Structure 1
Amino acid sequence: MKRFVMVCGDKGGTGKSLMTRALADRVRREQRDALLIDGDGEVGNLFQFYARLDDKGEPVADQTEGGVVPIRFTGTERERDQLLTAVDLERPFILADLPAASLTQLKQFDGDTGFFAELARSGYRPTLVNVLSPFSSSTRTVREMIELVGNEADYVVAINQWFGDREDFFLWYGNANTAPNPGQAMLREFGGVEIALPKLQAGVLVAIDDLLLTFTDAREDTRLTTPQRSRLHRWMQALDAQLDEVTVYLGLSEHVR
């Protein structure tokens, strides 16, 4: 089964791009036949770090092979249509990093084009990945995400531990004074899964971003200190362990769900 994985949400600043970069890094490490799409265009994180470059270090014009295709999903109708045009390439795995407000945009796009029905006709099973912060503006998007596609997609919710531990996510898990978010029950009802996005020390991420390195390259780059590379290695191991739990949902497994 072909997979179309979209990291999406209506709330910005939750860690969506970090999650997509981590997924792209694993796809590259495993040398999978994949198409990567950055819905924020050439200014997006995925494009900045994983685009294919020429000998002068500039992005090549054609990014469909081994690069990142930039589209502005919040731009014109023609630009949004590129998300659907991607299926014509018939790649077994498509990964798209969609911008803030993407759930709202996806709903409109689906209404205009029948996007999810077209994915099914093209043999793609969509997976929507939602990265959560503890705030209500983030946690409530899980219900909105599932209501958008229902049983026609798979769902992965990633709890971004950079924001804190389980107690800090009381608007999601609930506590003595707060009921669990309805999105939790809905996630289980529709067969969705929850994983953790482990915390990466801020200084390590700053160093990687300053050098515009992929995670795999940064792990071996001596411009990072040994403690920085060691912490990155442990983070990648911890995240891989989480992704191993949901490989079928994310198109990282050869087995059909």
Structure 2
Amino acid sequence: MKRFVMVCGDQGGTGKSLMARALADRIRCEQRDALMIDGDGEIGNLYQFYAKGEPVPGQIENGVAPIHFTGPEQERDQLLATVDLGRPVILADMPAAPLTQLKQFDGDTGFFAELTRSGYRPTFVNVLSPFSASTRTVREMIELAGKQADYVVTLNQWFGDHEDFFMWYGHANSPPSSGYTMRPDYGGVEIAFPRLQAGLLVAIDELLLTVSDAREDTRLTTLQRSRLHRWMQAVDAEPDEVTGYLGLTRRQ
């Protein structure tokens, strides 16, 4: 089954684009026949770090297609047009808070029904912070696509550990988030996204390196490269639970 993976977050700063970069890196390492899309166009993280050369209209052989999903209608339409290329995996780093636009887009084009007709199963990867606005997006996401999609809820440990996500899990004075209770009924899974040290992320960003390239780049210190390697191992260990949803190969 072909996969259309959309990485989402309720607003900027949840770690959405870093998660998209981690998935893009694994797709590249596995040499998957994939198309990658940056929903923020040429200014987005995925495009800046993983595009090779200038964008080619219609198809990006080894790079990233920039689509301004919050822009004019003809830009949004390109998201659905990408299925005509027939790639087994499409990875889209969506703009912040995309669910309202996706709902309108689905109403205008029948987006989810067309994905099914084209042999694609959509996957939402929702990167969460501990705050209520973020946890609410899981319910909104499920209400948008229902059982037409699969769901990977990703708790970004940059913001803390399990106990810091009490708005998601619930606590003594408050029940769990509605998305938390709905997720199992829709086959959704939950994973953790390990924390990457801030200074190391800044160093990678300053050099405009992909994750794998940074691991081998001697402009980083041995300690930085070692920490990055451990982080990459931790990231790879999490998607092994949901490789089918993400269009990846299960690691042995």
TM-score computed with the length of structure 2 as normaliser: 0.97
Mapping of residues 1-257 of structure 1, within 5 Å: 1-53=1-53, 59-61=54-56, 64-253=60-249
Name stretches of at least 5 consecutive residues in structure 2 with no aligned partner. Answer: none
Partners of 1:234 and 1:46 lie apart in 2 by: 22
Identity of aligned residues (%): 76
Partners of 2:69 and 2:122 lie apart in 1 by: 17
Partners of 1:126 and 1:249 lie apart in 2 by: 8
Partners of 1:202 and 1:68 lie apart in 2 by: 25
2:245 aligns to what SS in structure 1? coil
Q: Any conservation in 2 of the 1:10–1:101 contact (CA below 8 Å)? A: yes
- Number of corresponding residues: 249
Displacement of 1:13: 1.4
Q: Any conservation in 2 of the 1:156–1:195 contact (CA below 8 Å)? A: yes
Q: Which amino acid aligns with 2:207?
A: L
Displacement of 1:64: 1.4
TM-score computed with the length of structure 1 as normaliser: 0.95
Query: Cα deviation per residue 1:5-46 (whole Å; 9 max; x = unaligned)?
Result: 001233221111000000000000000000000000000000
1:248 aligns to what SS in structure 2? helix
Q: Which amino acid aligns with 1:30?
A: E
Q: Any conservation in 2 of the 1:9–1:145 contact (CA below 8 Å)? A: no
Name stretches of at least 5 consecutive residues in structure 1 with no aligned partner. Answer: 54-58
Q: Which amino acid aligns with 1:14?
A: T
Partners of 2:39 and 2:46 lie apart in 1 by: 9
Partners of 2:88 and 2:197 lie apart in 1 by: 34
Displacement of 1:60: 4.6
Please report the RMSD computed on the Cα atoms of aligned residues, expressed in angstroms: 1.1
Partners of 1:177 and 1:161 lie apart in 2 by: 23
Q: Which amino acid aligns with 2:89?
A: F
Of residues 175-184 and 237-246 in structure 1, the stretch that sits farther from structure 2 once superposed is: 175-184
